[in-house]
Amino acid sequence: MALIPRRPPRRKRPKRPSISRKEVLPIVNTTAAKKRASFFSSPTRVICGSFFLVITIGTILLMMPFATRAMVATPLHDALFTATSATCVTGLIVYDTYTYWSTFGQLVILTLIQIGGLGLVTITTFFNIALGRKLGLRGLQLAQESINVGSIIDVTRLTKMVMAVSFSVEAVGALILATQFVPKFGGDGIFLSIFLAISAFCNAGFDLLGRESPFVSLMNYNGEPVVLYTIAALIIIGGLGFVVIHDLYNYRKTKKLMLHTKMVLVITGILILVGALFFLLLEWNNPQTMGHLSVGEKLNASIFQSVTTRTAGFNSVDMGGMHGLTKAIAIVLMFIGAAPGSTGGGIKVTTAAVILMLVVSVVRGREDAVMFHRKIAQRSVYKAVSVVVLAVLAVCISSIILYSDAGTAPVAGIDAIFESVSAFATVGLSTGVTGVATVIGKLVLTFTMFLGRVGPVSFALSVAARAAARNKKEIIPEAKIMVG
């Protein structure tokens, strides 16, 4: 009799546990938290967001009736324009800062200038360090991106130096200016000196000299070299960049300078001298600008205009009265701007130098851009080209809109370009276009100022951060295209 094998007993499938609504919610919340974390994981996105937050708060405060001398509410688009101009340290204004805004409004503008010049992330990082809090890797990356340094190791020390240098230089500048303004305006001269010192160091261009005449800026001070050259010195120091200042401070120990520092110093000096020479020659006999000034005043005005045109926004002559060729040269100086990691704007002097050296290298048959016998990294070259292309595109679009959307008076083409470049480069000089611009024109200039302050490449990366992360993982075959 054959034995029939017994089937093994069937294993009972475990029952799928039922999940209640209360148990599902933490999972959903965790997913949402991950999405929020990934959204703010990009340092450029956080920096752009911090500027947007400061501008929003400034706009709300400036809309309040007590922010104006007449106790009237400021229209939203004008408050937004002023807050953006102050935070992005530009200097373009719709209303005269002294005659329109109250003391509260002026303090709001001054605070926005200080925060915008140094950066909210930099200020927050400094206070965290001062309170003894340890910065995580993400905090270090944010601070690194904010002050534009190449090494995370140097962030903590450089952040302290940024704040110390800023407040020290502003304090010294305010003291020097007070020797001129206190005898002239009494106690009000103290606040005026502090305001001008902070505005000059942060390359903002706002002033309170409207007490003499609205929108006059420094046109009454060509014969007062202490005022003119103190403000010029503050503009130059703020425009050099904190990395350069740190390198110069360490020179007595290292006895050598970085290539970046050499480039910034050499190009800054050349641009100031060349700009001053052009202003002096082209505007010498122009009755609307320097024709009525003495020889010494013409020299002072030329040097000051060369300095302020690149980064700040104070003016010692009437910008609208300049010759067309002078405006074209001013556009080039504004477009180049200051140094990276500084309070100034523009495409930056190093970017212009890299593009120039790239062209020279191609003409000489070299494959790499070379400067001071050093090969410039391909990454820097690509970024420089991207910055210039995006900047030109932004200026062109803004200029076309300003030219075609003229308000109460027609706008000349050169003036529309001048105003757009001034907004993008966060310079703040104006030929009068802002005063006649419509609401659309002001909104376009507002966005152009924001784009110029955070940087076109940084803004693009903040918008497309996920796409950039995916592109790094892609392996794409090489293609050869004939150009030129």
Q: Exposed, middle or buried, 57 (CB in 10 Å: 0-12/13-18/19+)? A: middle
Helix, strand or coil, per DSSP, at residue 101: strand
In this predicted model, which residue has the larger pLDDT, 62 or 129? Answer: 62
Has residue 1 been placed in a domain? no
Has residue 3 been placed in a domain? no
Has residue 29 been placed in a domain? no
- 127 with 464: CB under 8 angstroms? no
pLDDT value at residue 399: 94
Residues of the domain holding 182:
39-465
At residue 352, does pLDDT exceed 70? yes
Least confident span in 121-130, 212-221, 350-359: 121-130
Structure-token pair, residue 99: 């005659």
- Find where tokens 């005659």 sit: 99
Has residue 350 been placed in a domain? yes
pLDDT value at residue 1: 46
Give the pLDDT band (50/70/90) at residue 8. Answer: low
Taking only the tens place, the pLDDT of each residue in 424-437 is 999 999 988 888 88
Give the pLDDT band (50/70/90) at residue 223. Answer: very high
- 261 with 269: CB under 8 angstroms? no
| Closest alpha carbon to 251 in 241, 235, 262 | 262
Taking only the tens place, the pLDDT of each residue in 363-420 is 888 877 887 778 888 888 888 888 899 999 999 999 999 988 766 677 888 999 999 9
pLDDT value at residue 267: 92
Structure-token pair, residue 162: 């940024």
Taking only the tens place, the pLDDT of each residue in 265-287 is 999 999 999 999 999 999 999 99
At residue 443, does pLDDT exceed 80? yes
Residues 142, 153: Cα–Cα separation, whole Å: 13
Taking only the tens place, the pLDDT of each residue in 184-196 is 999 999 999 999 9
Residues 333, 312: Cα–Cα separation, whole Å: 11
CA atoms within 13 A on the CB side of 224: 15
Structure-token pair, residue 106: 């002026």
pLDDT value at residue 423: 94
Residue type present at position 316: S
At residue 318, does pLDDT exceed 80? yes
Has residue 471 been placed in a domain? no
Other beta carbons less than 10 A from residue 438's beta carbon: 15
Other beta carbons less than 10 A from residue 182's beta carbon: 15
Give percent of the chain above pLDDT 90.
49
Taking only the tens place, the pLDDT of each residue in 138-181 is 444 544 554 455 554 466 677 777 788 889 999 999 999 999 99
| Closest alpha carbon to 122 in 146, 98, 141, 102 | 146
What backbone phi and psi angles, to 5 degrees, belong to 371? -145, 135
Handedness of CA 311, 315, 319, 322 (dihedral sign): negative
Give the number of domains in the chain: 1
* pTM for the predicted model, two decimal places: 0.83
Has residue 7 been placed in a domain? no
- Residue 442 to residues 377, 433, 435, Cα–Cα distance (Å): 39, 10, 9
Q: What is the mean pLDDT of the chain?
A: 82
- 176 with 87: CB under 8 angstroms? no
- 90 with 454: CB under 8 angstroms? no
pLDDT value at residue 312: 87
Least confident span in 236-245, 343-352, 366-375: 366-375
- Which residues is 371 bridged to in the sheet? 374
Residues 178, 187: Cα–Cα separation, whole Å: 10
pLDDT value at residue 189: 94
Helix, strand or coil, per DSSP, at residue 410: coil
- 278 with 287: CB under 8 angstroms? no
Please report, to the nearest 10 degrees, the dihedral formed by the alpha carbons of residues 356, 322, 231, 93 taken in order.
Answer: -100
Has residue 13 been placed in a domain? no
- Find where tokens 């101009």 sit: 85
| Closest alpha carbon to 305 in 338, 336, 277, 342 | 277
In this predicted model, which residue has the larger pLDDT, 16 or 410? Answer: 410
Choose from 157-161, 301-305, 317-321 the range with maximum mean pLDDT.
301-305
Has residue 74 been placed in a domain? yes
